[in-house]
Amino acid sequence: MKPDHSPRPSGGVPASGGVHRKARKVTVQDSVGQRIDNFLLRTLRDVPRSRVYRMLRKGEVRVNGGRIKPTYRLVAGDEVRLPPHTSAAEGREKFIGAEQLNRLEAAIVFEDDDLLVLDKPAGIAVHGGSGVAFGVIEALRRLRPKGQLELAHRLDRDTSGCLLVSKHRRALSHVHASIRAGTMGKRYALIVHGLWPDFRRSVNLPLQKYVTHSGERRVRVDPAGKESLTEFSVEARSGCASLLTAQLITGRTHQIRVHSAASGHGIVGDTKYAQAADVAVCRKFTIERLCLHAEEVILPWDDGERRFTCPRPAEFVRIWSQLA
């Protein structure tokens, strides 16, 4: 039986409140090696993401009776205490309209028993939270209600392209192990302002997360930050822009965006890290999207490797034609 994608009346959100859950303990069996924050997000799917991290910060979640950090990795036999919480989704289901569901269904480029690969549209978050009603993963779970779908990695909301979603625990662990080992390859296409020089083939600048006075999370180059390396190559140049490809050697938040901007060539359409002159160019050409696209993911697998490719979106190609 196919899931019902039909729109719900009057905004689609039932008016009833959430369901309160008592504290309980869970013994780890099939989540060995998973970070505790990801384990909680999967186990407490109906709890807002912000509430899950607040549980961890306040020490409400205990493993074997002790407090742990969000980066703690579970081992077999760990006893996890889940604190009392309110399950919002059972009493207040997130409304995801038929149009959004159909759009994401059409964006699936590959699917088998292990993985689902989506050509994520720009402007859609990978998960809900912080003012975002729903994201890709919530919509995919609505489309595949019997599955155990989990984000295998992430893309910025404004970035389009290849997004891997695991369909069971073994596939998720395999992707995460590949990311930690640096054996998962990711290639991006991007358009930057100005003429990128041939000699700048790599950018190795440490990156640090920080929060602005308004509460917005950002990233900057900082000697105290984490080591970050991006390799760039020039595909074409125009009078005012360059078309590049980028390979992520490390996978920090906003890495390509900040490394590009720090090199004096911000990504076209990037309002978060853009210079004033760059914003003016975008207004002139009516550019309303970030010109960064995850074009290819290469993943080691049992039978050698899997290569997933998402062609550059029509809007991305149109913008380059305008600038060129």
CATH match of 184-323 with 3.30.2350.10: yes
Please report which residue ranges of 48-205 form alpha helices under DSSP H: 49-57, 88-91, 98-106, 136-143, 169-181
Q: Looking at domain 23-86, which of 3.30.750.24, 3.40.50.720, 3.90.1570.30, 3.10.290.10 is its CATH number?
A: 3.10.290.10
* Fold exhibited by the domain 98-175: Pseudouridine synthase (3.30.2350)
- Would 98-175 and 184-323 be classified into the same CATH topology? yes
The CA radius of gyration of the chain, in Å to the nearest whole number, is 21
pTM, to two decimals: 0.75
- Give the SS3 label for residue 71: coil
Residue with tokens 């997004």: 163
Burial class (CB in 10 A: 0-12, 13-18, 19+), 77: exposed
Instruction: For residue range 160-175, list pLDDT tens digits in order.
Output: 999 999 998 889 889 9
Give the residue extent of every domain in the chain.
23-86, 98-175, 184-323
Does the annotation mark 198 as catalytic? Answer: no
Gap between the Cα atoms of 152 and 110, Å rounded? 14
Per-residue pLDDT reduced to its tens digit, 24-49: 888 887 777 888 888 888 788 778 77
Question: pLDDT by residue (tens digit) across 49-65?
Answer: 778 888 888 889 999 98
- Among residues 119, 156, 270, 278, the one annotated as catalytic is 156
Closest CA to 136 of 163, 110, 169, 174: 163
* Alpha carbon distance 135, 154 (integer Å): 11
